[in-house]
A and B are shown apart, each in its own frame.
Chain A
């Protein structure tokens, strides 16, 4: 792995779900970034990207959260998030919250330009070709929708997973089809969401892999929750944990041994 002479100053956007439910993903992200030569900080004044408000039509709260986030992340070379969905919000939707030509629009655009999703930041910006990690077993990768369709993340995680020692990637049918999470959708339209995630777990099982990985904790909690309810032994992990070789924490939805 290449270590650059002047370490880029990277601020981690933790994401609310990683902060609350799975800090190990945050630490895996920090490890990956530090191994790639970054100087990583975690601004304290962050909460959530504001997507729940934005997608519920509550533009006032979404705008207020966006302003606070933009302020909290000033002065860093890059802002990196271990989530395609939150990165998409920060990169593609923040500018749209503010009127064209306004000061905040300019600030939002300058902010968005510095934001990256974790895995694509490693491969596309830092030019990381491989990681030093081990993972004995088979793994199938789900393409979460926002990362895939808003940010074009598809080859990057597969490339890095391919460099993990002992890991065998086994594709599921239609890895690019939604898992039915959709933020508040999965609660508001629980029955429809259930049908969609049931198709997804069927595809995951069809892959024959022992572990499922993806880049978004929301989708992962949805799929893990369904797999566990179905009694499946397939383990579920965020891709950052696998790439960082930090798989000592129990998989998502499983108890400590």
Chain B
């Protein structure tokens, strides 16, 4: 996927001016937060489960080679094939190879943010294969030629009437009088069109929420059942997943599942949780004849052993963005790559380079709400700060900001000089602001006063007044 993170400020400005988007975002802000709170409060062991989920993943990351090897051997034993892809391009080539062997023309897809990361849809189209997204949200944004704006609600930025318009534009079979005014009528229309696609598909591609080392199974969690149809109806099923999805045992996965849906959609469990282990066996009535897993690195192994390793615990629930005031203000597209919100502010620079994603870890108020709801207890603000440090070391921040900070630090490190300088500066500022008690514009403070007044200082500094008080005290005591 094309990265537009360097244009973050422009993206954000467009998003702030988009009234339709602003309306859609207010739904994110309220629905997801309330739902999560209700289910978390209803489960006394929720916090303990978060600890245990974190511990499971930390253990896995410490022994990742071992669990990946075990996973591969279990998949092979169950009749499936594991392919290792170092880069996005490698993964695309492997998938294309499997599709070509199958002479595939239509490929259904379900539940896979990682295929956005590797740009699979565009790649398949360039090679004469039609990919069809089957998740309703993904289907809508595919029709619109857009990327997801949220990890679990890819079309959360689109409203109902826009969807109706898109359906009328693309579904040319629709009679004009067809009612598409309700969510259910829209859903039925998408369902009707997708039904035939499932039957037409030669290959089904899904992502995976987990890869279980103990059994060689892949797990997907959905609410629409489209993932199941994608992986069971075509002759070939391809799972695309990244390294860190591997999890040791079924029991481990069961524990993490208890925090996943609660954190994401506020459900106790998703409607469908589907475990797939290898191709269809002789006695099975349904299922694919071939089962392939493409395991992608794309920069993850480079995060192991670094200060960004904790980010590999992420289970893509989206709770961090659901609770982020910055995400609420600008939505997901402004972040400019696959992973928006606080998770993206750490992941995007890790995978694409801080030179391309410098805005993202900076565009945070560090309010800490993301960390407070992350089911895997990822210290997101801390890791964003690590990125700011890397940027600072490499002189990547704007020179004006560096210069200003340097000047401030020069004084802050020298208390006597600091107090002299601030006393003078505050005296002048207080005098200028005394008439109104605030400034509506001030040279050098444009960033502040563009949108709000600057309260004027009271007059003297505290240190000045305190010295006076202490002097008077001493005089009186003497």
Contact = CB atoms under 8 A, between A and B. Distances in A.
Contacts of B385: 54-55, 57
Contacts of A44: 415, 419, 463
Interface string B135-174: 0000000000000000000000000000000000000000
A177 interface: yes
B415 A46 contact: yes
Nearest to A61: B409
B401 A253 contact: no
B366 A145 contact: yes
B405 A58 contact: yes
A57 B388 contact: yes
B422 A149 contact: no
Interface in B386-400: 387-393, 397
A6 interface: no
Interface string A18-56: 111111101100000000000000101111101011111
Interface stretch (A105-113, A119-127, A159-167, A183-191): A183-191
A252 interface: yes
A252 B436 CA distance: 11
A242 interface: no
Nearest to B326: A192
Interface residues of B, number: 65
A47 B417 CA distance: 10
Interface in A161-207: 177-178, 180-197, 199
Contact of B452 (A149, A182, A229, A256): A229
A50 B418 CA distance: 13
Contact of B453 (A53, A64, A187, A225): A225
Interface string B290-305: 0000000000000000
Nearest to B393: A57
Contact of A225 (B408, B438, B461): B438
Contact of A190 (B369, B393, B419, B450): B450
B450 A58 contact: no
Nearest to B334: A192
A64 B413 contact: yes
Contacts of B366: 55, 145-146, 182-183, 185
Given A58-B409, A178-B325, A183-B366, A256 B437 contact: yes
A59 interface: yes
Given A192-B12, A192-B330, A255-B436, A50 B412 contact: yes
Given A68-B415, A150-B368, A180 B325 contact: yes
Contacts of A50: 412
Interface string B450-471: 1111111111111101100000
A181 B388 contact: no
B16 A195 contact: yes
Contacts of B453: 224-226, 228-229, 253
B474 interface: no
A44 B464 CA distance: 10
Contacts of A59: 389, 392
A47 B412 contact: yes
B443 interface: no
B363 A192 contact: yes
A29 to B, nearest CB: 10
Contact of B363 (A19, A189, A195): A189
B13 interface: yes
Contacts of A72: 415
A47 to B, nearest CB: 5
Interface of B: 9, 12-13, 16, 325-326, 328-330, 362-369, 371-372, 385, 387-393, 397, 401, 405-406, 408-409, 411-413, 415, 418-419, 422, 426, 434-438, 440, 447-448, 450-463, 465-466
Given A192-B12, A253-B437, 13 more contacts: A19-B462, A23-B465, A44-B463, A52-B408, A53-B409, A56-B397, A188-B447, A190-B450, A192-B16, A193-B365, A194-B450, A196-B365, A255-B434
15 contacts: A22-B458, A47-B415, A52-B409, A57-B389, A58-B409, A145-B368, A180-B365, A187-B448, A191-B12, A192-B12, A192-B363, A221-B455, A225-B453, A253-B456, A255-B435
